[in-house]
């Protein structure tokens, strides 16, 4: 089931992509990246309101940051969600 | 399966001590995108260990990784790689607009971020060919090789189990 399900998912995405005009697809991909950032930011914001303890706030933010990120390195980029979170935590 | 990862001592220790920590580099845009990379064999992590040791103290950690048909996008499967290739080809039309390089990891990340269907995959499995990797003379002139290595890009903490320092 696993492999067939994967093939079906990739087919579905391909059908979606190939039915779009080039500009439309570009916008869609850009929107995907932007909404991904917004989801992460909104989740971190929610955590910020809910918790007053920096350590537990960071842990909650990490949990809610989604399945792609657990903890990211903070020393070489200010663009990663956790880096922003870390900066916020330091400020708080 | 058991996976092996070589990195600097500080990050390896953090990985061993903090259950929610994965060693993820912003620079992993080349192969399978964002995630912590594991080798199937300890000897394959040794090469990276030597490279890391040039910059300071380094070690190898191993971890139990729960790999299933459902949580793994297996790009060593020709059928799946073929279909992913078709997606990448479409994505490449946007090259320079969404991502700025030709690296496969950026394109995979773009697909993962855009399509929620992909979020079920916690791991991507890949395979790399090392043309210059030395191998045992007993393999010379045969169809057998150790120049091909499978590796895993773990994208979240969920499939990671027990961890241990091994070198």
Counting the structural domains of chain A, the total is 1
Is the pLDDT assigned to residue B60 strictly greater than 90? yes
Counting the structural domains of chain B, the total is 1
Q: Which long-range contacts (CB under 8 A, 24 or more apart) does A68-72 make?
A: A68/B34, A68/B112, A68/B113, A68/B119, A68/B155, A68/B156, A69/A40, A69/B24, A69/B34, A69/B156, A70/B20, A70/B21, A70/B22, A70/B24, A70/B156, A70/B157, A71/B18, A71/B20, A71/B21, A71/B22, A71/B24, A72/B24, A72/B26
Q: Are B165 and B12 in contact (CB under 8 A)?
A: yes
SS3 for B129?
strand
Is the pLDDT assigned to residue B16 strictly greater than 70? yes
The answer to whether residue B100 sits within a structural domain is: no
Task: Look up the domain containing A32 and give its range.
Answer: 2-91
* Yes or no, beta carbons of B156 and A69 under 8 Å apart: yes
Q: What average pLDDT does the segment B137-164 reach?
A: 94
The pLDDT assigned to B141 comes to: 92
The answer to whether residue B137 sits within a structural domain is: yes
The pLDDT assigned to A20 comes to: 87
Rg, chain B, Cα only:
17
ipTM over 0.95: no
The pLDDT assigned to A22 comes to: 82
Those residues of chain A whose CB sits closer than 8 Å to some CB in chain B are 1-3, 5-7, 9-14, 16-18, 22, 25-26, 28-30, 32-33, 36, 59, 62-63, 66-73, 76-77, 80
Q: Which of B29, A27, B30, B100 is nearest to B92 (CA)?
A: B100
* Yes or no, beta carbons of A63 and B21 under 8 Å apart: no
The pLDDT assigned to B99 comes to: 59
Task: Provide, as residue numbers in chain B, all residues whose Cβ is less than 8 Å from the Cβ of A77.
Answer: 26
Token pair 């399978």: residue? B32
pLDDT digits (tens, 9 = 90+) for B61-112: 999 999 999 999 999 999 999 999 999 888 877 666 665 556 788 889 889 9
pLDDT digits (tens, 9 = 90+) for B112-125: 988 989 999 999 99
The answer to whether residue B85 sits within a structural domain is: no
The encoded tokens of residue B131 equal 């043309």
The pLDDT assigned to A53 comes to: 55
- The mean pLDDT values, 10 residues at a time, for chain A of 92 residues are 91 92 82 62 49 57 50 41 40 36
Which residue of chain A comes nearest to B119, CA vs CA?
Answer: A67
CA distance B157 to B161: 9
The pLDDT assigned to B100 comes to: 53
Task: Look up the domain containing B158 and give its range.
Answer: 2-77+121-165
The pLDDT assigned to A68 comes to: 40
The answer to whether residue B96 sits within a structural domain is: no
Find the CB nearest B84 among A10, A12, A70.
Answer: A10
The pLDDT assigned to B133 comes to: 86
Token pair 């300890």: residue? B42
The pLDDT assigned to A25 comes to: 84
DSSP3 helix / strand / coil % (chain B, rounded to 5): 35, 25, 40
* Yes or no, beta carbons of A67 and B119 under 8 Å apart: yes
The answer to whether residue B95 sits within a structural domain is: no
Is the pLDDT assigned to residue B126 strictly greater than 50? yes
């Amino acid at each position: 089931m696993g492999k067939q399900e994967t093939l079906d998912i990739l087919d579905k995405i391909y059908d979606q992509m190939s039915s779009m005009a080039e500009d439309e697809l570009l916008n869609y991909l850009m929107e995907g990246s932007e909404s991904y950032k917004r989801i992460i930011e909104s989740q971190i914001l929610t955590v910020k309101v809910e918790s007053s303890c920096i350590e537990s706030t960071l842990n909650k933010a990490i949990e809610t940051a989604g399945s792609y990120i657990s903890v990211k390195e903070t020393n070489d980029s200010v663009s990663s969600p956790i880096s922003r979170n870390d900066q916020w935590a330091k400020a708080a | 399966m058991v996976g092996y990862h070589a990195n600097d001592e500080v990050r390896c220790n953090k990985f061993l001590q903090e259950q929610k920590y994965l060693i993820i580099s912003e620079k992993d845009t080349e192969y399978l995108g964002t995630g912590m990379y594991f080798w199937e064999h300890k000897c394959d992590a040794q090469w990276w260990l030597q490279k890391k040791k040039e910059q300071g103290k380094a070690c190898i950690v191993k971890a139990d990784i729960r790999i299933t048909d459902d949580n793994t996008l297996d790009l060593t499967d020709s059928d799946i790689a073929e279909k992913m290739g078709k997606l990448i080809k479409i994505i490449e039309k946007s090259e320079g607009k969404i991502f700025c390089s030709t690296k496969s990891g950026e394109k995979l990340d773009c697909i993962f971020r855009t399509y929620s269907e992909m979020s079920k995959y916690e791991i991507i499995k890949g395979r790399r060919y090392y043309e210059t990797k030395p191998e045992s003379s007993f393999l010379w002139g045969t169809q057998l090789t150790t120049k091909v290595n499978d590796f895993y890009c773990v994208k979240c903490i969920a499939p990671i189990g027990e961890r241990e320092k091994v070198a």
